[in-house]
Amino acid sequence: MRDLLTTEGLARERLESLLADGEEFAEVMRRPIPKVPALRGKTVATMFFEPSTRTRMSFERAARALSADVLSFSPATSSLKKGESLKDTVLTIQAMGADLMVVRHTATGAPWRVAEWTRLPVVNGGDGAHQHPTQALLDSLTLRQRFGGLDGLRIGIVGDIRHSRVARSDVYAFATLGASVTLVAPPTLLPPDLTGWPVEATNTLDDVLTELDAVYLLRVQAERGGASVFPSLPEYRERFGMTRRRFARLKPDTAVLHPGPMIRGVEIDQEVADDPRCLVLDQVTNGVAVRMAVLFQLLGGERDA
């Protein structure tokens, strides 16, 4: 594997191997000195053409914990403002001696274009509403830690699936790892065509609520038009939010996940977000570990180190 661009078509063995390495790196990150020399001398470039809190910091933390250096590109203060093209930006960063590029972009497919232009490995850090493969890895690791594996789990992904790259990455990873996935959303927030998606779909959360082992809540992606297709946020909460009342109806060991940023009071009630069964901070912690696994595997790190 040269790049990590999508979870679609990723073999179970590859996913399991990344999760196994993720598990090991999670252990490294619990040590008093959470750092190993595995990628000493390597340089990871993070190129985020779209805002991010978690994903960028998580990749940079992962790179540094492996003793790699980080080249951090910020479009707002760059020569993109002077009209430099994406391609020239990529070639410039390659010429500076980067060894791997992490790319987030508003445009679907941008990381694939970058991978054509550069000889370096490329990791998709989220492209438009398309794919976000490291999110799927960290979600899978979190579920695996919680339930021992994904085989046979029933997972509901709830909310703005239409505009969600997280959902598009999660469904393939979860299904490949043996879970059955149910999408839950109003018709306007489901993709127009689900052909090829390994899922079932429903418009009514209350119909499936008590059968789910994990409920994965999505943010309403207003910046991609997600808020304009239903009447109001209070109505969204009423029908699709993980309210306190709905949370009380879940099976006692059902887990709640969310990729962040959470909008409390819309897709998740305050009390649910702070409940120990809400795994959102475990997801963040695991994000560093799985990104270490991805960087390590793509850069051929030294296992003994």
Contacts with ligand NCD by CB under 6 A lie at 54-55, 126, 132, 135, 165-166, 219, 221, 259-260
The least distance separating ligand NCD from the CB of residue 303, rounded to whole angstroms, comes to 29
Q: Which is nearer to ligand NCD, 118 or 169 (CB)?
A: 169
Q: Which is nearer to ligand NCD, 149 or 265 (CB)?
A: 265
- Side chain identity, residue 113: R
The least distance separating ligand NCD from the CB of residue 128, rounded to whole angstroms, comes to 10
DSSP 131-171: B-HHHHHHHHHHHHHHHS--TT-EEEEES--TT-HHHHHHH
- Side chain identity, residue 132: H
Instruction: Assign 181 to helix, strand or coil.
Output: strand
Q: Which is nearer to ligand NCD, 128 or 301 (CB)?
A: 128
Per the CB < 8 A criterion, the answer to whether 122 and 109 are in contact is no
Q: Which is nearer to ligand NCD, 29 or 280 (CB)?
A: 280
C-alpha of 271 from chain center: 24
Residue of minimal Cβ distance to ligand NCD:
219
Those residues with Cβ within 8 angstroms of residue 216's Cβ, 6 or more apart along the chain or in another chain: 139, 155, 156, 157, 158, 170, 257, 258
The least distance separating ligand NCD from the CB of residue 302, rounded to whole angstroms, comes to 29
Q: What are phi and psi of 47, to 5 degrees?
A: -120, 100
Q: Which is nearer to ligand NCD, 234 or 261 (CB)?
A: 261
The least distance separating ligand NCD from the CB of residue 221, rounded to whole angstroms, comes to 6
Token duo for residue 107: 């445009």
Q: Which is nearer to ligand NCD, 38 or 110 (CB)?
A: 110
The least distance separating ligand NCD from the CB of residue 161, rounded to whole angstroms, comes to 12
Token duo for residue 197: 């998606």
The least distance separating ligand NCD from the CB of residue 166, rounded to whole angstroms, comes to 5
How far is 285 from 292, CA to CA, in rounded Å?
A: 11
